Chain A
Amino acid sequence: MILVPIIALLLGAILALGLKVRVGDSMAQYLAVACLAGLDTVLGGMRSAYESKFQTDVFLSGFFANVLIAFFIAWLGDQIGINLYMVVALVMGMRIFTNLSLLRRYLLVRATDWIAKRKKEREKQLEQTMEGVTE
């Protein structure tokens, strides 16, 4: 399931490459900052899914709000002569790390659980066959 968003990400990238989209140079600069916010929200969405508290409306509004706010802060920074995009990069970077580490833990727990379960099942099967043999 976790592969589906990754494949979708690649599909989106291929679409943009295929369409040869070009935006203005300063626009591209702000968009790069907005990408960080987008990445954070997508990872946050996956994390909340694994915590089983995913809500579609919260996720969708969060994505667009974060992207727009990041875009706006970067733009504002250039207007008032402060590198405010650094603020976005710092905050979003930290959140991306948090989200990724939590996601990794959930996946790890899931994987170890699965392995333990498989082991138990196999032992059970073995027991059953052994019983069959002895009887």
Chain B
Amino acid sequence: MTNPFSRIHNEKWVIPVSGLSALLGFMLVVSWLNEGNRLGRAKFLTPDQNQRGFINEVGFASYVSMKEEVERLQKRATTLEKALSENGRGSATLNDQLQSAKSFAGLTELVGGGVKVTLKDNAGAGGMPGEQDLIHDIDILRVTNELFASGAEAISVNGHRLMSASSIRCAGPTVLIDGVRLAPPYTILAIGEVETLYNGFTISGGVMTEIATASPTMIQIQREKSIRIPAYLGATALKHGSVPKATK
């Protein structure tokens, strides 16, 4: 029985070609983008390559976190039910719940690994400083937004903790955060997964590259092993809204 390839009488090519094919397969796998190296290589990719790669990942990650949240809530419901039945442990459980709610709301100090972003006006510009040489409220807003998007759990600007109702706006030459007047340089601390924060922030086409186009000295980011973010110290009393009875 003959086969279509029988005409190759001289088959000395098979071994070298196969050997190098194996090497090529090895190289392809090593340079393949995967969950492990995508963040590290994000800065080498074009913005649309990044987007294509990240779309599915984000969807999956949020699905996983939602699933975990549901599990956590179910567990908490169980402990609450148990505590109710045992009565004596009720106050301890309530306290635990209160503490986690407070830390989520930004009413407690938080320590952990994270990044430190420094924003300052471009002092090196010769002559009159232009609009692009100054740090504006919108820059701080976008930086903190980007950090939250990269998974920051707590953020402070010049020692002022941001919480769910924080506002950032400008007032003349200074920036007001929750009505507190801050002046440059602005040091923004964020607690979260260090590499994710760092790589998410330095991604090409992000806020960092945009601000750095005026001058790279205006924005700097560094990884921090351990940072301490203070609690929110402003007023927390609600004047106009009240929690409906059904959810109390």
Contacts and interface: CB of A to CB of B under 8 A. Distances in A.
A60 B21 CA distance: 11
A9 B12 contact: no
Contacts, number: 127
A101 interface: no
Interface residues of B, number: 32
Contact of A42 (B7, B10, B17): B17
Chain A interface mostly: helix
Interface in A35-57: 35, 38-39, 41-42, 45-46, 48-50, 52, 54, 56
A35 B2 contact: no
Contacts of A48: 13
A8 interface: yes
B58 interface: no
A30 B19 CA distance: 22
A11 interface: yes
Contacts of A7: 18
Given A45-B16, A54-B13, A110-B7, A5 B21 contact: yes
Interface string B1-37: 0111101101111101111111111111111000011
Interface of B: 2-5, 7-8, 10-14, 16-31, 36-37, 40-41, 44
16 contacts: A1-B14, A7-B18, A8-B22, A21-B26, A26-B44, A35-B27, A35-B31, A39-B24, A42-B17, A45-B16, A46-B17, A48-B13, A67-B27, A110-B7, A113-B7, A114-B2
